[in-house]
Amino acid sequence: MNSDYVLVSGRANRKLAECIAENLGKELFPVDILQFKDGEIQVYYNDTIRGKNVFIIQPTFSPAENIIELLLLIDAAKRASARNIVAVMPYFGYARQDRKDKPRTSIGAKLMSNLLTAAGVTRIITMDLHADQIQGFMEFPVDHLFVSNVFIPYIKDLNLPNICIASPDTGGTKRASTYAKALECDLAIGYKQRVKQNEVAALQIIGDVKDKNVIIVDDIIDTAGTLCKAAARIKEMGAASVRAMCAHGLFSGNAIENIENSVLDEVIIADTIPLRHNCEKIKVISVAKLLAEVIQSVVDDTSISSHYYV
């Protein structure tokens, strides 16, 4: 890739974008993002980007305006004759809609891919997709990173004895297994039954957690219902302590209250989404350095395989 590149930030997570730019020794490229009284968004690049590689940093969590803003930033860059347009999406919205799991339902992740393609993206850098197969929806390269790169060193620095990694549900078994393998520790798996979306009826833990320091790993904390139920069940089974590590902290509804009232000792999240609520139990670890290193690798056409735990 041509080394002449610029970093652009949308409004969704400006702080993370500034940290990425600082790690790369660059300034964020000036762009005006206007919002009309009716809510419509218009973007404008304040200087030429003709022939440049444009990295647009914008996670697409709710509200939907974050997605529209990203698409407009991409469209404006394409119409301004940018050479390559890379969407840096630390959180890829609608990733939980990755398949048709019941009749007459949408597949939101595929639709997001189609929109990005139509807008003119040439590459995506993202983190901890809810389902790995979403990469196959894209018609362009996808650099899929994992927060385990920063979380596993943090766990090691805790120097906790008798660690056990747990997944709150069977869908996260692969992720939890990766952590357990890297840490050379035991693994436990939760099995949940839902009555409806965001509401768990029953949850069982498979594995020995007695007298262990358990760390629950997941990709998304939404309402924290499953997480808190899993933590309570693990504590009932005799765990010495229970922590949680999660890439994307959405914290919808009563999530913060649920966490504050739970048996969880600590909840560690990445800064893919800005933390909008204060909670003493929540600790934020930045992924800015990791994203900066990968952006530099894309610019230099070098391998990013060293950024994966396998």
The residues annotated with a catalytic role in the active site are: 192
Distance of CA 66 to the CA centre of its chain: 15
DSSP code of residue 133 = G
Nearest in space to 182 (alpha carbons), one of 122, 242, 118, 245? 245
Coil, strand, or helix at residue 306?
helix
Give residue for tokens 């890379």.
Answer: 86
Which residue has tokens 């139509």?
Answer: 118
**Token representation of residue 268:** 């560690």
**Rounded to whole angstroms, what are the CA distances from 88 to 12, 60, 127, 208, 268?**
12, 10, 9, 39, 22
236 contacts: CB under 8 Å, gap ≥ 6: none
Distance CA 187, CA 185 (A): 7
Tell me the β-bridge partners of 243: 215, 266
Q: Which residue, among 4, 128, 12, has the nearest Cα to 72 in the 3D structure?
A: 12
